Amino acid sequence: MSLMSGTTARTESDLPIESVYTAASLDGFDPADKLGQPGSYPFTRGVYPSMYTGRPWTMRQYAGFGTAKESNERYRQLVEAGTGGLSVAFDLPTQMGYDSDAPLASGEVGKVGVAIDSIDDMRILFDGLPLDKVSTSMTINAPASTLLLMYELVAAEQGAPADKLTGTIQNDVLKEYIARGTYIYPPKESLRLISDIFAYCSNNIPRWNTISISGYHMAEAGATPAQEVAFTLANAKEYVRAAQAAGLDVDTFAPRLSFFFVARTTLLEEVAKFRAARRIWARIMKEEFGAKNPKSQMLRFHTQTAGVQLTAQQPEVNLIRVSLQGLGAVLGGTQSLHTNSFDEAIALPTQKAARLALRTQQVIAYETDVCKTVDPFAGSYVVESLTNELEEQILQLIQAVEDKGGAVSAIEQGFQKQEIERSAYDQQLATDSGERIVVGLNKFTIPEEEPYEPLRVDPAIEAEQCARLERLRADRDNDAVERALDAVRQAAQGSTNVLIPMKEALAAHATGGEVSNALRDVWGMYNPPDAF
């Protein structure tokens, strides 16, 4: 149904929203079945009994630009400002498995994140940061295994044992085929690599979250809240099936699954969305996959405020948007949170803007009373009603994916992409017509914007990275590197866990692009259909 249909007020998921809710709105609602207690199945009220009354969520700041040295300086500033976890943004060549001197990398080095070509860059990136004490999230998908192994190698050099490392790799390739595009290998081979990561981390880095199954990027592409959760959980089911097919017991890997969602300005629906997502996932894991460990049934998630809702017009207004979005994530029970900087619609965040974004979280945590009680909206007529209605719509969408053969088959048929594009089109029509008000963009505008000086990345960074790669290849034992890369190819052809030879290759100073190319040699590259 179109976002513009009818005259009744409607949510972002096109559900009717009433002006007044009463007890009758919850007729037939069974709190014992739907709610439970915080920290208990079905986890509607939160995954931990005390939630933020014990300690606040992990406050992450997504950062990374230019060279590893520049990003390291920003990380140190964030840690000094009180951030509890780092979140690394990689540049586009790194995300696509290319070195900075690859022809396809030209013009993109260091632009949307940090360029990491080898273990040497990773060493510089985390210089002076104790990896056994800091939690690190890496927004990396197709080459997630490569970056994780570099991180493990650098941690070992610091004396940090692998069983002490905590953090997350996004590692969610299926959403790349749906909404984002930074895939490398075909879906089947991508799932093989993800299963190998699950097994490797279970044996070697047990506290690491091996995947962050992401709805955020689908939301940024135009997905409604219901679509965001439904397609994310459908992808998650595909990952669980792939791991089980590889012989892994569900309770061995499922406790390390995590999720990544957006927080929009529509606060009530977002709170309901998070509560519905927890309830649905708990039942999927228990009833469909037979998970017995309560940790396998928990939907633990990171949230990022909605970058797509930021405006370049009157950018300071984004501070208010981000505050509301962050509050919604907290009221919805997130485990960690990144708040966007107000200037991100213009360019990379300045240091002051990044600090203000972190201060937003700290004000919510320490100056409001929302951390003094668990699940403040429990029993709210409107939130419980919206939670139930969203749950129903999400389950219908998950079933639609299942009817098409599961997430991979539905991706190959273009189903999720078409649904999201249809929603994005409706949203744009509503904005263009003025039905959807965006302050500063189509209402409450000003005739002339004040000048703003954004952060810019020095284009000389690309030449610097290429020179570093030239020195690396001149100084290393290239015969040893080639032998190690051959071992990667052999593992990819067989059933051996590919991360084991990949780690040896990276330790021998193979580059990230060379390791990805070794896998490309065997698995090929995914070429999407021209149109669906």
66 near 110, Cβ under 8 Å? yes
Within 10 A of 153 (CB to CB), how many other CB atoms are there?
16
On the CB side of 419, CA atoms within 13 Å amount to: 22
Q: So what's the pLDDT on residue 530? A: 59
117 near 99, Cβ under 8 Å? yes
Instruction: State the residue for tokens 């992990």.
Output: 58
Q: So what's the pLDDT on residue 87? A: 83
DSSP state of 406: S
Q: Please determine, for residue 6, whether its predicted confidence score (pLDDT) is greater than 50.
A: no
Domain extent listing, the chain: 58-433, 476-523
Q: Please name which of 106, 146, 142, 76 lies closest in space to residue 498, comparing C-alpha atoms.
A: 146
Q: Please determine, for residue 171, whether its predicted confidence score (pLDDT) is greater than 50.
A: yes
Using only C-alpha atoms, what is the Rg of the chain?
23
Q: So what's the pLDDT on residue 528? A: 81
Mean of all residue pLDDT scores within the chain: 93
Backbone angles phi, psi at 463, to 5 degrees: -65, -35
17 near 9, Cβ under 8 Å? yes
Question: Distance between CA atoms of 230 and 221, rounded to whole angstroms?
Answer: 15
Q: Please determine, for residue 532, whether its predicted confidence score (pLDDT) is greater than 60.
A: no
Model-level pTM? 0.90
Q: Please determine, for residue 319, whether its predicted confidence score (pLDDT) is greater than 60.
A: yes
pLDDT digits (tens, 9 = 90+) for 231-289: 999 999 999 999 999 999 999 999 999 999 999 999 999 999 999 999 999 999 999 99
The answer to which of 127-131, 359-363, 423-427, 483-487 has the lowest mean pLDDT is 127-131
DSSP state of 451: P
Q: So what's the pLDDT on residue 177? A: 95
Cα 325 to its chain centre, rounded Å, is: 16
The answer to which of 33-37, 139-143, 331-335 has the lowest mean pLDDT is 33-37
- Rounded mean pLDDT, 284-311: 97
Query: In this structure, what token pair is assigned to residue 369?
Result: 């009373």
Question: Distance between CA atoms of 256 and 212, rounded to whole angstroms?
Answer: 9
pLDDT digits (tens, 9 = 90+) for 476-496: 999 999 999 999 999 999 999
Query: In this structure, what token pair is assigned to residue 79?
Result: 């840690």
Q: Please determine, for residue 349, whether its predicted confidence score (pLDDT) is greater than 50.
A: yes
Q: Please determine, for residue 1, whether its predicted confidence score (pLDDT) is greater than 70.
A: no
When pLDDT is cut at 50, 70 and 90, the band that residue 31 belongs to is confident
194 near 171, Cβ under 8 Å? yes
Helix (H, G, I), strand (E, B) or coil at 31: helix
pLDDT digits (tens, 9 = 90+) for 209-229: 999 999 999 999 999 999 999
Q: Please determine, for residue 3, whether its predicted confidence score (pLDDT) is greater than 50.
A: no
User: For 58-433, which CATH class?
Assistant: alpha beta
Helix (H, G, I), strand (E, B) or coil at 465: helix
Q: Please determine, for residue 433, whether its predicted confidence score (pLDDT) is greater than 60.
A: yes
pLDDT digits (tens, 9 = 90+) for 85-138: 788 989 999 999 999 999 999 999 998 899 999 999 999 999 999 898 888 989
Q: So what's the pLDDT on residue 5? A: 41
Q: So what's the pLDDT on residue 278? A: 98
156 near 125, Cβ under 8 Å? no
- Rounded mean pLDDT, 503-525: 98
